[in-house]
Amino acid sequence: MVVDLDIKPQDIDRIIEMAWEDRTPFEAIEFQFGLKENGVRKIMRTHLKRSSFELWRKRVKGRKTKHSSTSRSTRFKSSDQK
């Protein structure tokens, strides 16, 4: 359990889900939960199996869509949404 972060236990699952989503930038997680990329990484490392964490890190490392500089909206919605 992450003790030093003031995150509700029910929010941990949502943060992990958002971190796995390709189109959700880290900035959206920060906007919603006040948690920067390093904090997300810490939660992922703590709450995932080592192999799952390493797979996630490999997946998001260098991925442009995980940073809002490539996002067109500050509302963090998919282009498929109306």
Q: pLDDT tens per residue, the chain (82 residues)?
A: 444 457 888 899 999 999 999 889 999 999 999 999 999 999 999 999 999 999 999 988 877 777 665 445 455 565 665 5
With respect to residue 34, please indicate whether it lies within any of the assigned structural domains: yes
With respect to residue 4, please indicate whether it lies within any of the assigned structural domains: no
**Rounded CA separation 79/6 (Å):** 32
| The pair of three-digit structure tokens given for residue 61, joined into one six-digit string | 């490392």
With respect to residue 79, please indicate whether it lies within any of the assigned structural domains: no
- Indicate the number of domains in the chain: 1
With respect to residue 76, please indicate whether it lies within any of the assigned structural domains: no
With respect to residue 17, please indicate whether it lies within any of the assigned structural domains: yes
Find the domain containing 45 and state its range.
Answer: 9-67
pTM recorded for the entire structure: 0.71
With respect to residue 73, please indicate whether it lies within any of the assigned structural domains: no
**Rounded CA separation 67/71 (Å):** 7
